[in-house]
Structure 1
């Protein structure tokens, strides 16, 4: 039984509130509902309409939502939500449950709510502590023209009733306050210090940190200038703040009421300590609607960054929502067997918001589980599948989690109850995961015959790192020269292995290896791994034909394989040399040794990942797969000799949302080369994954020989002017690890750039 170290991080659901575009009542209901739950500040509003379908889908993708919720029974909203089957969740279909206690019907939330957070704050739990006296619930009149802005800025709760608890009183009671309501009249200015007060909006963020997307330097705090009565401005203001940007709303029509808050907020921003680069750490953003004339707005801000809020705000090159991170810690997990498959079992760390209040044990949240080092887990399984939300339902079944599983950016999000003390779930089969990913985009994927051979070789060698011995050209020649039925002597094997062995002196085959690599050491390693099988060769006295017997099968009386006559072998043992045969793991025919270049590329990528990305979840690396779809693939079918699916780690300093996929074509030495048909088919698959899934796709062309000029032109055909996909690997890189100069992150991008610079930098690029 092996032990694994896991990182467990608690965080809330990130819900997309679907409202009818232009319907202010839906918008108000969504904003009030979101303030009932942990993390509500970071839940976006999605204004659904056929005209804005592209923007709505972009919001779902950009915010990496856990679930969607239609705030009304409108048919268009329901149809939109139903399209995202992978975001369906039992606990967000109905936000509140109803139970009967003492004859009274009491609703309780299915998700961790603000009443639990308030009780944690009252106990001064770690990360949930704040001064209760700083808590304010602002209230206003129903006809106040700024009511929607105050609701978005300060927060508020739904009216208490049979469908929702009275959170206003529950929070005040939990904090031990007698009164926290502060009335803002229709003529009163907005409280100038309200930006630093603990409001219902701020309460939802307790215990959460935001990971700033540092690859986009536009998410600065500042001011949003718009109309207090415009639906689009309110939605944009809310979503920008849900993305993690600290903003204050300002409507020039209500200067007397809003100037105090605006000036107080801008003064605090301008008083911030300045960083070493003013342009990076000092700017203040000024957001406006596209129709506004910014030169006439009543805001004078030094070092301002002007931004426009419209349907393209969250486009690919636009604002990036922050990643929300909650409390967590490392735990020790046991690797166990469950239903004849590996699984992990572990104790969940204590939650800061653990609560003994009635019915709070019915609430749910996300437990993010990450396993950077999957030591002891069989190679065909993973605990850290890449970030592909479309396979959420598959992951739930694969892991055996009834509540559901979410594919998250840096981990696997498991939906758990607030009172769960332990967790056990099954590991994910890599091959099945890859098949489901392609299936989500209309492509049928299955392992090919060559892939089965490569997988058998990897398993026989004890994993990808055990395949290092195939880097030695003499070993490959030995396998190529002798089929499984042809016996050879040790001296013949040593002679082949010893050719050019000096250039592999740095290659380590065994943990106890000392000194320079010798032919005998390589030979012994092959025997130990079962690649070479030891036996004896006998000559039949009846038919005079020779045949080979494995050492385990050598007995005093042998039976001829050809004429079936039996004879005593004792007279043939004197002076007899051992004879060896190649293992049948490579298949019966010589051409199946073509799996070796595939295995070498896989081993090289695995080594490069371990060297540069310690602490990051390992990629899924699979051998040859057949891909088929008659309507969208060139010629209907395609074979990729290897498949890599990788979700780079997003940290405070590196933000990587896009999944990286590698397709490949690998050739052994010989006359066979890379053809234009093979490259064209791989390119068609790459474009489908890029256009439909948003993946970043690279195509590896590998050969255990030098590439001909015509082959390089074929490889170059998969590139475009501003998109380099091709990665060319020759015998030099595969044998002696010619990637040692590629360090740090963005390994695949650096490899593609290096290939372009090495072979085609001076040539005109494809359009």
Structure 2
């Protein structure tokens, strides 16, 4: 067994409250329920009858599951539209317990927070600062604003738990009644309240790239539900905002100056251009919203339903604390499995809280190096939650794919968890199911997979960079034998097709162990290929009976042999005394002379692995696949490989679909069909989750006709074509040779870099024309 480092960030479950537009009672209930939950401040509210906007919010907040609030049938049915967000709670409710037993929370709640801080300095500091519980008249025009800012709990009869009594017992609060005739006191922002308790001890996690987070003011109407929910969701995005109703500006006259002062102090550490406060508003007249704050430098942030697209506001992952533990990596029925303890809990893990659920968000930092068939770091594709849960964790409802992490729903008393590694082949199959295709490894894919495995991984394919190695494999088919001298001549010699290519171009290439400073030789290359099993040793023996020569492998060679042609046994002693060893291609290269395209595929993948800066743990690949549209039986197509790159949210998962060609000539109609296949599959992958790139590689220059055809890989709004030839595949750095003819950096870091280089080389006629090969 091995060990690996596991980073655990404990976070609250993020619940999406679903209500019907106009249902102010459901809004109030959702806000009150949020205040009972530790971390409930960050739960968004969505309208079930505004589906497009609701879907954007569900995706933006990366909610763990949806709960309807209120009596609306639309709200009750809405969660069914997100089958991948399975409710992980017992009985699907927030509170459980029969009529004769005490009620318990099903989600980590503020009771746990209070018990956790019982004997801590935090509780003492909160009491000394003066914890407050506010009350107001139901007919106060700002009652719903107070509900958001000060907080309140549902009636104990509704939840079965008296949270108000708990707060009074643990924090000894002062009871403050808000007078509707007086301005809100300036000192209210100096005292913690119920609303604060719902976010106590949480902080942003670095796994989500920051978006707009300008604190300041939200200008809206306190009796407008759309304004209230917009402000709630902005605050749920961890943006500190004070709700201002301009019709009651006098009520806010005392609290605005100290709020502004505290917010500006909170921005002091930021860059100069990020230190301005903001005015957020749904009003189309943004200038009038800023007019309520004369003589203040404020940034205007206009909010519309289209703002929730992930490019502007970007809710962070809020977590309590994190810990690094040592996980044990073993195997269960051949599948890698990691087990690790849940230690250093930043909450109360007493068994009394075993019903309370939260998320252990884990990152397995060292991954599975050297194992291309499994991954512990799947991409952020929440639609695959249930599939990954069943494959990796057994409990189908308790795993969430996160940005660069995996979320495991645990109960507060849980002591340890385990995860199985995800088979890459199964992951790729599920990805194509999202596009409406059934996938299966093709015969060519099987050969390429075995070849790469025999080479010890993708970097073992470096020997194929040497043109002489490729000539050797192509010159001698599966049944042909050759001498070592002939092999070394081909490996180290010149290619009539490419008189400028020479073995010395690769003398610094690492294909196996050698002394420091020692240059690579053809003999070293041949020895390494023998060691990896690409060639087999044997002898050419002539049968005295049939007078025909046959090759006998070293493993079966003996003094008396049986002729494989006529079946006659004969004594080979004389022939074994004289003569040289003869070599033959092993079956790993396939039964066809061109190895069914496995070599250009392996070489292309080797270059992607070596040059794209994302580490192996961020990528996964699958070899040649037969794809059949769902419901079809005879409309299958084939791609040579798929390369999947995991990216942090909000960036989409990158997928490179590849078609690899040997040395030409290529039938123009076949090339056109291959291009059309790549385009058809790429367009079928959900654009919401994937950014797709289309790669065509060839071990010779592209013809003008092929380049013209390859332009069809791009569309007006999608530049995704990547073209590579032996010029790019043979050097260590992809564009090491190419940069001599084009203004291209030899280093590439992403598929986008490859797309830009391709456009420079091939899709600018003035530059590309000198490199066209004859048609």
- Normalising by structure 1, we get a TM-score of 0.91
Report Cα offsets for 1:142-163 as digits up to 9, x if no partner.
2222111111122222111263
The partner residue of 2:593 within 580, 590, 603 is 590
The partner residue of 1:709 within 695, 704, 726 is 704
Report SS of the residue matched to 1:87: coil
Aligned to 1:244: 238
Aligned to 2:740: none
Shift in alpha-carbon separation, 1:730–1:343, aligned structure 2, 3 A: same
Aligned to 1:47: 47
Query: Contact (CA 8 Å) 2:36, 2:110: kept in 1 or not?
Result: yes
Report Cα offsets for 1:425-450 as digits up to 9, x if no partner.
21101111111122134222222222
Query: Contact (CA 8 Å) 1:48, 1:77: kept in 2 or not?
Result: yes
Aligned to 2:278: 285
Aligned to 2:142: 146
Gap runs ≥5 in structure 2 = 494-501, 737-744, 769-775
Query: Contact (CA 8 Å) 2:115, 2:348: kept in 1 or not?
Result: no
Shift in alpha-carbon separation, 1:194–1:510, aligned structure 2, 3 A: farther
Residues 120-131 of structure 1: pairs in structure 2 closer than 5 A: 120-124=116-120, 131=126
Query: Contact (CA 8 Å) 1:213, 1:320: kept in 2 or not?
Result: no
Query: Contact (CA 8 Å) 2:662, 2:699: kept in 1 or not?
Result: yes
Distance in 2 (CA, whole Å) between partners of 1:716 and 1:469 is 31
Residues 311-390 of structure 1: pairs in structure 2 closer than 5 A: 311-356=305-350, 359-375=352-368, 378-390=371-383
User: Displacement of 1:303 after TM fit?
Assistant: 3.1
Residue 608 of structure 2 is aligned to residue 624 of structure 1? no
Residues 322-471 of structure 1: pairs in structure 2 closer than 5 A: 322-356=316-350, 359-375=352-368, 378-402=371-395, 404-471=398-465
Aligned to 2:74: 76
Aligned residues: 746
Report SS of the residue matched to 1:185: coil
Distance in 2 (CA, whole Å) between partners of 1:377 and 1:194 is 58
User: Displacement of 1:630 after TM fit?
Assistant: 6.8
Report SS of the residue matched to 1:639: strand
Query: Contact (CA 8 Å) 2:491, 2:522: kept in 1 or not?
Result: yes
Report Cα offsets for 1:388-430 as digits up to 9, x if no partner.
0001110111013325211111111111222222222211011
Query: Contact (CA 8 Å) 2:653, 2:690: kept in 1 or not?
Result: yes
The partner residue of 1:567 within 562, 570, 579 is 570
The partner residue of 1:473 within 457, 467, 471 is 467
Report Cα offsets for 1:242-297 as digits up to 9, x if no partner.
11211110001111212322232123334556568532x22221111234463364
Aligned to 1:115: 111
Shift in alpha-carbon separation, 1:290–1:580, aligned structure 2, 3 A: same
Query: Contact (CA 8 Å) 1:106, 1:162: kept in 2 or not?
Result: no
Shift in alpha-carbon separation, 1:548–1:594, aligned structure 2, 3 A: same
User: Displacement of 1:211 after TM fit?
Assistant: 4.8
Report Cα offsets for 1:104-139 as digits up to 9, x if no partner.
5211112211111222233438x9996333333322
Distance in 2 (CA, whole Å) between partners of 1:676 and 1:492 is 38
Shift in alpha-carbon separation, 1:77–1:439, aligned structure 2, 3 A: same
The partner residue of 1:600 within 598, 603, 609 is 603
User: Displacement of 1:657 after TM fit?
Assistant: 3.2
The partner residue of 2:540 within 537, 546, 571 is 537
Aligned to 1:759: 762
Distance in 1 (CA, whole Å) between partners of 2:439 and 2:190 is 54
Aligned to 1:508: 510
Shift in alpha-carbon separation, 1:47–1:196, aligned structure 2, 3 A: farther
Report Cα offsets for 1:594-646 as digits up to 9, x if no partner.
1111112212222224xx345x842111112222327999x954422111222
Shift in alpha-carbon separation, 1:743–1:758, aligned structure 2, 3 A: closer
Aligned to 1:15: 15
Query: Contact (CA 8 Å) 1:120, 1:128: kept in 2 or not?
Result: no
Distance in 1 (CA, whole Å) between partners of 2:398 and 2:646 is 21
- Normalising by structure 2, we get a TM-score of 0.90
Shift in alpha-carbon separation, 1:744–1:283, aligned structure 2, 3 A: farther
Shift in alpha-carbon separation, 1:395–1:276, aligned structure 2, 3 A: closer
Task: Tell me how large the CA RMSD over aligned residues is.
Answer: 2.8
